[in-house]
Amino acid sequence: MPLSIIIVTHNSGKLLEQCISKLLLSSIDIQIIISDNNSTDGSVSSLQQAYSEYTNLIIHYNHANIGFAAANNAAYKYVDTQTNYTLFMNPDCLLETATLEKMCAVLDKYPQAAIAGGLLCNLDGSEQRGGRRQIPNPWRSFMQSLYLDKIFPNSSWAASGNLLHQPLPKRPQYVDIVSGAFMLVSNLAIGQVGLWDDKYFLHCEDADWCMRFNQAGYKVLFVPQVKILHAKGESSMAKPIFVEWHKHKSMQRFYKKFFYKRYPKVFGWLITAAIWCRFLLVVLLVKTRLVSYARLMGKKSI
């Protein structure tokens, strides 16, 4: 059993079955573990019916939407003890037949690396934001919180640590952080570092885990030669303000956990203020878009 795969899902719609159908075409043997955060859209029951004969498909039902990190941790107990790696991936990722084989082969060649991520791409083939990052220190966090990294995308002083605008390396490269949307991890290293921090409900848990692996002496590897289509699923888009609340709450937890004691308190106050100002701005933008969409739909129905 070369590889175990954990997929956390919550109302992922048809994307979940599309994801699984792609995985089952993989060139290596796999074990798939679905950790369902109390989906109500019928996607998991539909999947269970469609693949009832697949013995290496395990579905774990959580009692509620317990968050991404906690759901990953709940599913990890099912991981086959014979596997060297576990792939944590989102249900909106679509893989090619040889993707998993290539990723495992690369990680085998880099014994210092405990985590590897591929090139996350939008459906049009362009590189997706967040797939390769530097540590979000206080300055980078401040730039991101005020959207200055997007306003001045080519400026070094306003960089948030996201490496999207840097040229793709020609070979695998060590980075600080890769995305939890597609993260191949050594089971041996997990045994030493521990599982995800389940106090994060959504967002920043991948950065947290990479930081902890780095602190334990392991490396994080970005593999640009392996492309993963990431469709960005339906469940997050259905509750934008809910998602943004937890995203900004996680930003604050991450900063306090890793940086708060290293810098003067004034930096902490500034970052906290910037994070929640950013949240209010996002809520305003979301509500404006919803109002505009409702008006547009109203005009079309007349």
> What DSSP state is assigned to residue 83?
-
Delimit the domains of the chain by residue range: 3-233
- Is pLDDT at 297 greater than 60 in this prediction? no
C-alpha distances in Å from residue 63, one per residue of 60, 67, 71: 10, 11, 10
What value does the mean pLDDT of the chain take?
88
Q: Dump pLDDT digits (tens) for 126-159.
A: 999 889 998 877 777 667 666 666 766 666 665 6
Its pTM stands at: 0.88
Q: What percent of the chain has pLDDT over 70?
A: 86
> Is the separation of the CB atoms in 180 and 68 below 8 Å?
yes
Instruction: Please name the residue that has the structure tokens 């390396």.
Output: 169
- Is pLDDT at 178 greater than 70 in this prediction? yes
More confident call, 23 vs 283: 23
pLDDT for 146: 64
Strands 85-89 and 182-186: antiparallel
Identity of residue 284: L
Q: Dump pLDDT digits (tens) for 13-26.
A: 999 999 999 999 99
> Residue 270: pLDDT band by 50, 70, 90 thresholds?
confident
> Residue 237: pLDDT band by 50, 70, 90 thresholds?
low
Distance of alpha carbon 238 from alpha carbon 152, whole angstroms: 30
C-alpha distances in Å from residue 69, one per residue of 62, 124, 157, 207: 12, 29, 32, 12
Q: What is the CATH number of domain 3-233?
A: 3.90.550.10
> Residue 283: pLDDT band by 50, 70, 90 thresholds?
confident
Question: Which region among 136-145, 188-197, 221-230, 243-252 has the lowest average model confidence (pLDDT)?
Answer: 136-145
More confident call, 224 vs 152: 224
Average pLDDT of span 236-241: 70
Average pLDDT of span 43-51: 93
